[in-house]
Structures are given as C-alpha cells and as structure tokens.
C-alpha cells in the first residue's frame, strides 16, 4: 500500500458530527468519507492528479482484497 500523509484538521463540532453520520450512512469511516469528498471535489475541479491511487470501496474489503497472511 502506498504511504499516506496525515495532518491535523480542526472542524466545528457540528460539522464533524454531520460528517460522521454521513460516513456511517455510506459505510465508511469519517476519514474515508472526508477523503472521498476531497477526491470528488478535486476531480470535478479538474485538479485530481493522475498519479493518485484508487480509493478502496465502501464497507468491508472482499476476501481477495485482504493482504496475505
């Protein structure tokens, strides 16, 4: 898996709660929902770099997507 960058993001608590509820409805973590929305906005603006990796789909990974034991 490609390395991931982390950073601190300060959000209004109401915005965070709404995002967390939305993520739960979509079977994503809050972090994955934020990344999904950012990627979508970048793509719509024509600013998503071509070298980005594909984001994993919603829910639990399929057995063939799991790393070998």
Domain boundaries, the chain: 11-45
**pLDDT score of 2 more than 60:** no
Q: pLDDT tens-digit profile of 6-58?
A: 999 999 999 999 999 999 999 999 999 999 999 999 999 999 998 887 766 66
Query: How far, in Å, CA of 2 to CA of 49, rounded?
Result: 15
Q: What is the structure's pLDDT at 56?
A: 63
H or E segment to which residue 17 belongs: helix 13-25
Q: Kindly state the tokens that stand for 64.
A: 């063939």
pTM, to two decimals: 0.71
* Contacts with 19 (C-beta within 8 Å, 6 or more apart), sequence order: 11, 30, 33, 34
């Amino acid at each position: 898996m490609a390395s991931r960058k982390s950073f601190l993001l300060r959000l209004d608590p109401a915005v965070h709660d709404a995002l967390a509820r939305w993520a739960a409805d979509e079977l994503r973590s809050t972090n994955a929902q934020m990344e999904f929305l950012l990627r979508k906005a970048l793509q719509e603006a024509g600013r998503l770099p071509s070298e980005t990796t594909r984001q994993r789909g919603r829910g639990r990974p399929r057995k063939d997507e799991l790393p070998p034991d």
